[in-house]
Amino acid sequence: MRSPPESTVDRALASFQAALDGDRLAHAYLVVGSLRDEALPFAQGALARLFCRGVVRPCGDCPACRQVAERRHTDIVWIEPEKKSRVVGIDRIRDLQHVVYQTSFEGGWKAVVLVAADRVGEEASNAFLKTLEEPPPRCLFLLLTDAPQAVMATIKSRCQRIVLSSEPDVLPDPWRERLLAILADPGPQGLTGALLRSTRLDKLLSELRESVAEAEKAAVADDDEVSDETLLARIEARYRGMRSMVVRGILLWYRDLLMCVSGGGADCLRYPEREAELRRAAEALNHADAFRNLQIVEGMQRQFDRNMPADTVIQGAFGQLNG
């Protein structure tokens, strides 16, 4: 597991501590950043500061600190996407309301951590919104996400935003390079070319899933308490996060194509190292095609969110894309 970028998370935690000390805590925070490397470490740190019973908070040694670290504190509810669809359902939100509107078990704060807040279904989001609108005192909501654009706007507007990463969706290498190789390769034109590209992208996603599974299995190899079901859920969640980065990577490519069609220079490009290929591909495009490409790629993410099969989504999109 990569170590978190200390400066960002630590700075955010210092601000959180200052707000806590000054009795200025907001009731809800939208924490934007990589879930594993930034948002979750921030949530653990913030909760340790909130619940610690030591003199210097967080002491890391008191029962509360240990319970926070082991996710078994009685006044903290952790909600994560469930089942194969990786969605937070309405039932989980209803269960949560019991905890929120009752007094705390230990007589102090209560906290709710919504991991992957972008994966809350529409019905559940509306139910959750009601809770956010009328929060009881001494109840903290932490909504963690690496895709803030997918969180319902009315929920976002009720949260104070903590941005831990300016680029939460950047695909790491070697996947980024492999994706660019697929996008930059002109290959044959027409249906044959589209089929070839979609097959290569489908293969990339399959390998990405295998890589994620291996990494997650290695991360819990020594932890007997993680059940097979939990492990599968983590793999699926992580893979979906990475897949969103792939879609964003494709979106940035077609954004660059639009820039080239519009006469933008290298300083406008997100992939300046691929300027030559981008300009070559842009020669065959007009503005309307370039705009339409962006809409098609945005549609891919929506289709993935609706749990459509990856090969169907990819083939459908590449069959329509120009350039």
Partner 1 sequence: MKIVIGKDAVMTGLQLVHGVVGARPTLPVLSNVLLQAQEDRLWLTTTDLEVTMRCAVEAKVAKAGATTLPAKRILSIMRELPADNIEIETDEKHSSSITCGSSFFKILGLSVDDFPPVPKYEGGHVFTLEQRVLKEMLQKTSYAASADETRYILNGTLMSFKANKLTMVATDGRRLALTEHELEFPKEAETDAIVPTKAVNELLRVLKDDGAVKVHLSKNQAGFEFDDVLLITKLIEGTYPNFRQVIPSQCDQRITVEREAFLIALKRVALLTSEKSSSIKLAFGKNKLKISASSPDVGEAHETVSIKYAGKEIAVAFNPDYVIEPLRNLANDEIYVELTDELSPGVIKCDVPFIYVLMPMRVS
Binding partner 1 (rule: CB under 8 A), the pick from 74, 154, 206, 230 is 74
Binding partner 1 (rule: CB under 8 A), the pick from 10, 82, 106, 202 is 106
101 is a contact residue toward partner 1 (CB under 8 A): yes
The number of residues that bind partner 1 (CB under 8 A) is 19
Binding partner 1 (rule: CB under 8 A), the pick from 14, 18, 59, 103 is 103
Of the candidates 294, 173, 318, 170, the one whose C-alpha atom is nearest the C-alpha of residue 244 is 170
Pairing relationship of beta strands 110-115 and 139-145 according to DSSP bridges: parallel
Task: Candidates 13-21, 101-109, 151-159, 292-300: pick the segment binding partner 1 (CB under 8 A).
Answer: 101-109
Only one residue has tokens 């809770």, namely 131
Q: What is the DSSP string of 236-270?
A: HHHHHHHHHHHHHHHHHHHHHHHHHHTT--GGG-S
To the nearest 10 degrees (0 to 180), the angle between helices 40-51 and 6-21 is 30
230 is a contact residue toward partner 1 (CB under 8 A): no
61 is a contact residue toward partner 1 (CB under 8 A): no
Shortest CB 191 distance to partner 1, Å: 50
Task: Candidates 37-45, 72-80, 214-222, 278-286: pick the segment binding partner 1 (CB under 8 A).
Answer: 72-80
Binding partner 1 (rule: CB under 8 A), the pick from 22, 107, 190, 263 is 107
Do residues 197 and 318 touch, judged by C-beta distance below 8 A?
yes
Of the candidates 223, 169, 215, the one whose C-alpha atom is nearest the C-alpha of residue 38 is 169
Task: Candidates 33-41, 81-89, 104-112, 315-323: pick the segment binding partner 1 (CB under 8 A).
Answer: 104-112
50 is a contact residue toward partner 1 (CB under 8 A): no
The residues in 126-165 that bind partner 1, with binding defined as CB under 8 A, are: 127, 130, 136-137
Task: Candidates 42-50, 105-113, 215-223, 272-280: pick the segment binding partner 1 (CB under 8 A).
Answer: 105-113
207 is a contact residue toward partner 1 (CB under 8 A): no
Do residues 150 and 178 touch, judged by C-beta distance below 8 A?
no
Give bridge partners of residue 139 from the DSSP assignment.
110
Do residues 29 and 159 touch, judged by C-beta distance below 8 A?
yes
Q: Which amino acid is at 138?
A: R
Task: Candidates 30-38, 97-105, 174-182, 211-219: pick the segment binding partner 1 (CB under 8 A).
Answer: 97-105
Do residues 270 and 251 touch, judged by C-beta distance below 8 A?
no
Binding partner 1 (rule: CB under 8 A), the pick from 85, 104, 303, 320 is 104
> How far is the CA of 8 from the CAs of 18, 32, 211, in angstroms?
15, 11, 27
Measured in degrees and rounded to the nearest 5, phi and psi for residue 114 equal -105, 100
Task: Candidates 98-106, 154-162, 265-273, 311-319: pick the segment binding partner 1 (CB under 8 A).
Answer: 98-106
Give bridge partners of residue 279 from the DSSP assignment.
none
72 is a contact residue toward partner 1 (CB under 8 A): yes
> How far is the CA of 226 from the CAs of 41, 219, 232, 276, in angstroms?
19, 10, 10, 48
Shortest CB 226 distance to partner 1, Å: 12
Interface mask toward partner 1 for 238-257; x: CB under 8 A: --------------------
302 is a contact residue toward partner 1 (CB under 8 A): no
122 is a contact residue toward partner 1 (CB under 8 A): no
Q: What is the DSSP letter of 272?
A: G
Q: Which two tokens stand for residue 35?
A: 């879930």
Kindly list the residues in this chain that would bind partner 1 in the complex (CB under 8 A): 72, 74, 77, 94-95, 97-99, 101-107, 127, 130, 136-137
